[in-house]
Chain A
Amino acid sequence: MGTVAVQGLCKSFGKVQALDGVTLDVPDGSFFVVLGPSGAGKTTTLRAIAGLEKLDAGSVRLDGRDATADTPAARDLAMVFQSYALYPRHTVYENIASPLRARRRSSSEIAAAVERMASLLHIERLLQRRPAQLSGGEMQRVALARALVRSPRAFLMDEPLTNLDLKLRVEMRTELTRIHRSLGATFVYVTNDQVEALSMADQVAVLKDGKVQQVGTPTEVYERPANQWVAGFVGSPPISLLACHAEGDRLVGAEGWTLPRPGWTTAQDGRPLLLGLRAEDLSVERRGDASLSGELYGLEPLGDRTVVDVRVGTKILKVKARPTVTGTPGEPLLVTVDLDRAHLFDAGTGVSLSGAGR
């Protein structure tokens, strides 16, 4: 068993409100990612679960039992820190053995467990070194081994891949997913990297300014963002947002364009809206009836595709196109819009108006 549930977490540091009523439900055995920009309260949430942070309000329940007042040791959790926090005076072996030593396991049991971890993470030859003699990737593996050497209730990971170079990060992403599957344990994983969140998570909680914006599967968060902010934060290149309002069967843009009003929207006429268009739902090739006219602003070739920047009025639209696309800046372009996949948000509150209808 390993469910983690937090209810109404509040925590302020001086004048900064780090957590403002965070409520999360982490199901047993899930890979639960807490995603948000820096300063959103992700790490504070994780530290609150671990018992390292004294809360102003709220409760932490582990396996259904109230653990708000428990010490970190009593919570039976393991954590990987962003800085790894390997004990500098101890060898790699002793670092990995530490959770077992704290629990007074026999030395033969410890030796067996450390060997097992070392071979799982391919760090057998590092066991007698000290942390200062390791590379970043090796330290990361040791930190992971120290967490995995026990079978705790849940694993907490605080941006464990952030300090690695890109190639290693991609490798470790796959490896962590593999480890999660083979252990079947609960992972609570904090990151500011939406690619990590979308590629690894069963469930994603998007956090901003100490508040939960949306909880859902990666697909839900990407396809049906709860509000304009989530839509803008998740996805690369970022979603393009255009001010508009509904008028009968048409959407009229602030820049003067008109599009057919999507069937699913129920917004009343005249209400200020934001039309959100993802790069892959726009095209500069197809000719459809729903299109916007603009001019070519710039090209970003990315190898497998090219992102075309198209200026419509004063706004820049990001359009995903084939890598073979060419053009000169300033030339007129027609951008076809897949309105079935477009998003509409209330311009005042940012709340999505498209979620329920589809």
Chain B
Amino acid sequence: MGVSVNEAVSTDPVRDHPPPARRRGGRGRSALEVALLTVLAIVMLFPVLWMIETSIKENRDVYAIPAKFFNFQFTMDHFKDVFVGAGGGRSALSVSFLNSVVVAGVSTVLATVLGVPAAWAYSRFAVKAKKDQLFFILSTRFMPPVVVVIPIFLMYRQVGLIDTELGLILIYAAFNLPFTIWMMKGFVDEVPAEYEDAAMLDGYTRLQAFRRFTLPLLVPGIAATAVFALIFSWNEFVFAIFLTSSDDVRTAPPAIAGLIGGTTVDWGLVAASSVVFALPVLVFAYLVRKHLVAGVTLGAVRR
């Protein structure tokens, strides 16, 4: 490709030039911009494109040298293999996808259900040593999962959470909770406390005031926060590979990784399962994109 990301990014100052410089550059300047942006787009999207292409190629075209960009034999067999097992029943991969949906979904719901009220409490009430507590909560995110995975493995073995979906759900929820609290606190801070004060004088209890008047205003923030938590849980690999082993429990990331490493690698299947794996988060993020943008600009960023 010949253009590094840095070079491509350096188009930014061109865009920031004051209008006169822009006009002197005329069409040429904007053509350069378009060219650089195109290159950037190709660099960034090529792996994705290649993944999609591989997932719909016949196996012999996958291995063809030179690589076939356009004239390959189209097939949906790889996608069929993702969901249907060799014997005709459900494939191991499809079970992994289902596990991923359950684990990511439940852990995100758990982190949100616990995190939003906690964020509200930290935002609204005089809590002793509030800053220290918030810093402590954040500090749990300072180390990467791989640092704590061995102790957690030993603890999980003691309490029987090894190789269970519940075990993964709990650890993901625990990892997402600090993030949820911090991000949601920013959103709650943005909502004037006086709405709740007014509601309490109207005759509602504090919790009713929160539920009826503050919570609806937090929906964009909750959507944005949940997407981030969901993406973390969905993509998480280290805990998943250490804490689960059986096909019944395993989530998609270790299952897909497990496809690589035999004597032969079915790259078509790897690519197809990767496409299936990438889609839900893309679709979900697309569906909540309005909330996401509103959320990110309204909340954490402006403060």
Contact = CB atoms under 8 A, between A and B. Distances in A.
A211 B197 CA distance: 25
A87 B201 contact: no
Interface string A301-324: 000000000000000000000000
A103 B203 contact: yes
Given A85-B192, A87-B195, A72 B217 contact: no
Contact of A102 (B194, B203, B206): B203
A262 B87 CA distance: 114
A51 B201 CA distance: 9
Interface stretch (A21-29, A34-42, A73-81, A266-274): A73-81
A83 B204 CA distance: 20
Contacts, number: 58
Which interface residue of B126, B202, B205, B216 has the most chain A CB atoms within 10 A? B202
B201 A77 contact: yes
Contacts of A99: 201-203
Interface residues of A, number: 23
B198 interface: yes
Contacts of A72: 197, 200-201
Interface string A75-97: 00111010101011100000000
Nearest to B203: A102
A98 B216 contact: no
Contacts of B204: 73, 102
A17 interface: no
A71 B216 contact: no
B79 interface: no
B281 interface: no
A72 B205 CA distance: 8
Contacts of B195: 85, 87-88
A77 B201 CA distance: 6
A57 interface: no
A51 B198 CA distance: 11
A146 B213 CA distance: 15
Interface residues of B, number: 18
Given A87-B213, A88-B217, A89-B216, A73 B201 contact: yes
A102 B198 contact: no
Contacts of A54: 126
A354 to B, nearest CB: 42
Interface in B251-288: none
B215 to A, nearest CB: 11
Which interface residue of B198, B199, B216 has the most chain A CB atoms within 10 A? B198
B216 A79 contact: no
B208 to A, nearest CB: 8
Nearest to B198: A85
A101 B200 CA distance: 12
Contacts of A78: 201
B200 to A, nearest CB: 4
A79 B205 contact: no
A71 B197 contact: no
Contacts of A98: 199, 202
Contacts of B208: 102
Contacts of B197: 47, 50, 52, 72, 79, 81, 85
A99 B208 CA distance: 13
Contact of B202 (A47, A52, A88, A102): A102
Contacts of A79: 197-198, 201
Which interface residue of A47, A52, A54 has the most chain B CB atoms within 10 A? A52
Contacts of B202: 73, 98-99, 101-102, 146
Which interface residue of A47, A52, A54, A85 has the most chain B CB atoms within 10 A? A85
Contact of B203 (A50, A73, A83): A73
Contacts of B126: 54
B205 A71 contact: yes
Interface in A165-213: none
A72 B207 CA distance: 13
Nearest to B204: A102
A73 B197 CA distance: 10
Interface string B119-153: 00000001000000000000000000000000000
Contacts of A101: 202
B218 to A, nearest CB: 11
A74 to B, nearest CB: 9
Nearest to A86: B198
Nearest to A78: B201
A58 to B, nearest CB: 18
B198 A87 contact: yes
Given A71-B205, A83-B194, A99-B203, 13 more contacts: A47-B197, A54-B126, A73-B200, A73-B201, A73-B204, A87-B213, A88-B217, A89-B213, A89-B217, A98-B202, A99-B202, A102-B203, A102-B208
21 contacts: A47-B197, A50-B197, A52-B201, A71-B206, A72-B200, A73-B200, A73-B201, A73-B204, A77-B201, A79-B201, A83-B192, A87-B198, A87-B199, A88-B195, A98-B202, A99-B202, A99-B203, A101-B202, A102-B202, A102-B203, A102-B204
Interface of A: 47, 50-52, 54, 71-73, 77-79, 81, 83, 85, 87-89, 98-99, 101-103, 146
